Amino acid sequence: MAQAQPQAQQHYTPEHMPDLVVVGAGLFGLTVAQQAAERAGAHVLVIDVRDHIGGNAYSYMDEETGAEIHRYGAHLFHTSNRRVWDYVNRFTSFTGYVHRVYATHDGEVYPLPINLGTINQFFHAHYTPAEAKALVEEQAGELAGTDPQNLNDKGVQLIGRPLYEAFIKNYTGKQWQTDPSQLPADIIKRLPVRFNYDNRYFKDTWEGLPTDGYTAWMERMAADPRIEVRLGVDFFDSSQPWNKAALVGKVPVVYTGPVDRYFDYELGDLKWRTVDFKEVRYDEGDHFGCPVMNYSDADVPYTRAIEFKNFNPERADRQNPDRTVVWQEYSRFAERGDEPYYPVNTEADRKLYAAYEAKAAAEPQVVFGGRLGTYKYYDMHQVIDTALTAYDERVAPMLAR
C-alpha cells in the first residue's frame, strides 16, 4: 500500500499557474488530480469550499466512543470492477467488513434485502424457494405480469402486496417525502428479492472499509508533491484569485460541483434530496448489534439509524466499551445551500439537465464530473471509474496540448 509522502508542494499563484485546476476534493477530483500528477507530471491545484478533503466520503474519529464517524452518512466500499479495485488498493487496504442491513417493522427485526429468511419470518412459515416465489407471484394479484409505471404498483408487482407494504411503501414515502403512487416505477425496478438465505446487502466481488479510515485514504491520494490542496476556497467567490472568471479558458479545469450552480442557475434549479442527521448517544457499548437499522413504519419519522462502531469490530480494543453513538437519518427535498445527495431525476429534471449538459459541453477546457457535475447518483466505485475514464479521454489530451 502506498504511504503518504511529505509534500514539498508548489504554491501556485495567478502569476505561476498550475497545469490543471480541480474544483472539489472528493473522489472524482482527487482521482483525476492523482492521475494527472503521476501520468502527465502535471502540477495540479485542488480547491474545495469545505474545510476537509474527501467530499462526502470524509470521516473523522469520535474521541468519546472511538467510532469512525462518516460525516455525510454511511459509506460502504464495494466493487466488481478490477480496474477500480486495483487502483484503490494502491492507497489503502480494506477490512473484511461485509454489509448487512436489518429493518424494524411492527416491533420486530427482519433481515434485508428481502430474502427467504425475511419471507419465512414474516409469514411464520418454512417455505422452500419455489414455494416462496409462487407466494410472491400470487400476492401480486391483478398486477402480476403487468408493467406498472408508478412505484407503488411496481412494488406490489415485484414482491406482492404484504411484503411491499411492510418493508418498502412507508420507508420509500419517508425517503422521498412523496406518496409512492406519485413516484416513477424505475426507482425500484431492480428491487432485490432473494429466494435463499443470503442477506449480504451487496453482491460485488470485493467489499470492505478502508483499514485506516476514509480520510487517510484520501490524504494518500493527494500526497504527490505536485498536488496542492487548498481548502475553504470558493470557486464562485471573485474576491479570491482561484475563481471561475480567472480560470476558465486560461487553464484546464475539472469541475465537480453542481452543474446548475456553475451556470448560476440560469436555466433553473435541478432537484435533489438531502438528508439531515440527529445524533443520539447511549450509555452502552452496542445499541443495535449491527451498523444500520432501517425503520419501515410510518410512525418513525427517520428512515434509518447508523451505529458507527459496528462498522469496525476489528477496532474493539480502541473503542469505548461503555458508550456508543448513533445517527438517525431524515430525508427531505434539498434547497439551495443544502448538501445535495440524491438526484430527484423526474422527467422534467432530466430535460433540464440535458440543457445544462449541452452548455457544459461548450465550456472551454472544462470537464464536468462526479455526482453533482453530471446529475447522477454514483456509488464510490462508479465515481472512481468515471474519473479514470475522464482522465484518459478528456483531461490527458488537454494536458498534452
230 forms beta bridges with: 47
Provide Rg for the chain, Cα atoms: 23
Question: Going by C-beta distance under 8 Å and a sequence separation of 6 or more, which residues neighbour residue 160?
Answer: 135, 136, 137, 138, 139, 140, 141
Write down the catalytic residue from 64, 237, 266, 377: 377
Q: Active site includes 329?
A: yes
Q: Active site includes 194?
A: yes
Write down the catalytic residue from 71, 220, 226, 304: 304
Q: Active site includes 377?
A: yes
Q: Active site includes 90?
A: no
On the question of a cis peptide bond just before residue 113, with omega within 30 degrees of 0, the verdict is: yes
The answer to whether the CB of 307 falls within 8 A of the CB of 287 is yes
Write down the catalytic residue from 12, 110, 194, 226: 194
At 254, list the grid cell: 475539472
Neighbour-count burial for 13-48, b at 16+ CB within 10 Å, e otherwise: eeeebbbbbbbbbbbbbbbbbbbbbeebebbbbbbb
Q: Active site includes 12?
A: no
Q: Active site includes 190?
A: yes
Write down the catalytic residue from 260, 273, 307, 391: 273
104 forms beta bridges with: 109, 295
Write down the catalytic residue from 349, 378, 379, 394: 379
Write down the catalytic residue from 62, 68, 329, 385: 329
Q: Active site includes 50?
A: no
Q: What are the catalytic residues? A: 190, 194, 273, 304, 329, 377, 379
